[in-house]
Amino acid sequence: MTNNVSSDSQSQSQPILSPDRAELTSFLEGLPEPHILCDPDYRIVAANQAYRHLYGGEGELTGRTCYEVSHHFDRPCDQAGESCPMARARESGQRERILHLHHTSCGQSYVNIELTPLLNPRGEMTGYIEKMETVQHAHLQPQAQGLIGRSPAFRQMLALVMRIAPTDSAVMLLGETGTGKDLVAQTLHASSQRAAKPFVPVDCSSLTETLFESELFGHERGAFTDAHRAKAGLVETAHEGTLFLDEVGDIPLTMQVKLLRLLENGVYRRVGSTEQRQADVRIISATHRDLPTMVREGRFREDLYHRLCTFPIRLPPLRARADDLPLLADSLLSRLMPQRRIKLTSDALELLGHQPFHGNVRELRNLLERAIVLTDDTQIGVEAVEWALQLDRDLLKDPQDGAKESTLSGSHLPMGGTAEGTLRGSWQRLRVEQLRERLQGWSGTRTELARELGVSERTLYRKLKALGMV
């Protein structure tokens, strides 16, 4: 790494390496992850090959400041509104970890930084080493998979996810429907030491009381009438991996105690067996329900709540991350239609910006899916978005309300009858889900909800009743 070690030909601004620093530099050069050695004034003294590859481009890096190279800032991060690991390490005298948004040769990326201060015998900081690790499962540009976002609310949430991912702590994901709890659970697993082992999701709301124990813990042959052969449970399937308890707030009280036993003792028995088995799973749970209120009202066990909620992470609703809308819309469009490069016009995007999106990212995704079907172009204009939104309202309208002629009439559809059929089919599927989404995120009165949906309160009530929601 000759270009980083001091020489007479180096310019005045370039820092000088002492012999022990030269050894350190040679050590860093052999490390596979990007590393830099900096002086206390943020200037890069040495950058290893992996760092030069990720940040360097063609230019020389030594002598430049870390904030200029990775952030394109003209002053240290903490003076530019970012948290600076160096400032924190100077205070704590310890290693500090932080999530930053960096400019790399692959564009903007989320990067986990681990900063280790170098202290002299008097305990003074004489420099620091930074290790960078690009986050693989969260992005600032459209990607086929993973979390997308750049708003402050999203970054705050992601920083918690990245901090807790490598540990074995139980995580509780809280947030409205469609905010990405399932995706975050997968990200936590994929960013953990358990990533190579199974990620096993359990939809707790779909498990009946009789099934709960045998599904979760498995059963022996002959344990009950239909147990023709022994079967491993989901806890066993997730061995050394992650068990994701989705909709954990829906577990009835009688079953909560069975789950508590697993969490408290880390052991379980297959139904029909006396053999005690040791569970080795990391537990992530999620709910859109207000668990603290459920605990207060005696509908959720407090002891179970504390076991599950070692580390709570609240996912922001889409309305709290409005800055993410253009990026999210762009990403979702390319995920929905990877073979067709579809974009929203600026008017269409502005119209989307005014929607309440009680169903959050899922609702945005559904709306875009509809808008794609309703447009032949590679540009989705304001008309297609309005049309997709109107379909949503039509869905909730009662013919007795004298609703306008359905916008699903074939004459409006660019693709004719076949597309209409397809669209009607997907509408039928969306219907219940969308009403549920509206209701779950809704904190106002039914009158306000009816107004919001553009229907009478009587119609809303009839609709909910027909769907078994009241």
Query: Of 180, 218, 249, 317, which one interacts with ligand ATP (CB under 6 A)?
Result: 180
Which residue lies nearer to ligand ATP by CB, 115 or 251?
Answer: 251
Coarse DSSP helix, strand, coil percentages of the chain, rounded to the nearest 5 percent:
45, 20, 35
Q: How far is the CB of 105 from ligand ATP (least distance, A)?
A: 24
Strand partners, 278: 267
Q: C-beta of 438: minimal distance to ligand ATP in Å?
A: 12
To 5 degrees, how large is the angle CA 410–CA 415–CA 417?
45
Burial readout 141-156 (b: 16 or more C-beta within 10 A, e: otherwise): ebeeeebbbbbebbbe
Q: Provide, rounded to whole angstroms, the least separation between the CB of residue 146 and ligand ATP.
A: 7
Binding to ligand ATP in span 350-379, by CB under 6 A: 361-362, 365
Q: How far is the CB of 328 from ligand ATP (least distance, A)?
A: 6
CB proximity list for 114: less than 8 A, separation 6 or greater: 95, 96, 97, 130, 131, 133
Residue 277's nearest CA partner among 226, 331, 238, 221 is: 238
Contact call for residue 179 and ligand ATP (CB under 6 A)? yes
Look up residue 5 and give its two tokens: 């070690």
Please give the span between the terminal C-alpha atoms of the chain, in angstroms, as a whole number.
Answer: 71
Nearest distance, CB of residue 147 and ligand ATP, angstroms: 4
Of 4, 14, 25, 177, the one binding ligand ATP by CB under 6 A:
177
Among positions 318-357, residues that touch ligand ATP (CB under 6 A) are: none
Residue 15 makes contact with ligand ATP by CB under 6 A:
no
Residue whose tokens read 């229907």: 455
Minimum distance from residue 53 beta carbon to ligand ATP (Å): 28
If binding is defined by CB under 6 A, does position 433 make contact with ligand ATP? Answer: no
CA dihedral 406, 412, 413, 417 (to 10 degrees): 70
**By CB under 6 A, is residue 175 in contact with ligand ATP?**
yes
Tell the smallest beta-carbon distance from residue 142 to ligand ATP (Å).
10
Residues 129 and 389: their CA atoms lie apart, in Å, by 52
- Which residues from 282-311 bind ligand ATP, rule CB under 6 A? 288
- Report the residue number, 307 or 358, with the smaller CB distance to ligand ATP: 358
**Least separation in angstroms between CB 29 and ligand ATP:** 37
Selected binder of ligand ATP within 100, 181, 301, 307 (CB under 6 A) = 181
Nearer to ligand ATP, 233 or 249 (CB): 249
Q: Which residue has the tokens 């577990």?
A: 251
149 touches ligand ATP by CB under 6 A: yes
**Backbone conformation region of residue 17, classed left if phi is above 0, alpha if psi is from -120 to 50, else beta:** beta
Number of residues this chain uses to bind ligand ATP (CB under 6 A): 15
Question: Under the criterion CB under 6 A, does residue 316 sit at the interface with ligand ATP?
Answer: no
Cβ distance to ligand ATP smaller for residue 86 or 140 = 140
What DSSP string runs through 384-431? HHHHHHHHHHHHH--GGGTPPPPTT-GGG-TT-HHHHHHHHHHHHHHH
Contact region for ligand ATP (CB under 6 A) — 33-41, 170-178, 267-275, 459-467?
A: 170-178
> In DSSP terms, which residues pair with 200 in a beta bridge?
243
Q: Which is nearer to ligand ATP, 77 or 325 (CB)?
A: 325
What's the token pair of residue 51?
A: 């760092």
Q: Cα(83)–Cα(151) distance, rounded to whole angstroms?
A: 15
Counting DSSP H helices and E strands in the chain, the numbers are 18, 18
Q: Which is nearer to ligand ATP, 15 or 178 (CB)?
A: 178
Nearest alpha carbon to residue 435 among 353, 363, 337, 351: 363
Regarding 161 and contact with ligand ATP (CB under 6 A), the answer is no
Among residues 99, 183, 344, 391, which is the contact residue for ligand ATP, using CB under 6 A?
A: 183
Residue selected from 34, 85, 178, 317 as contacting ligand ATP according to rule CB under 6 A: 178
Residue from 114, 182, 394, 452 in contact with ligand ATP (CB under 6 A) = 182
> Which residues are near ligand ATP by CB under 6 A?
147-149, 175, 177-183, 288, 361-362, 365
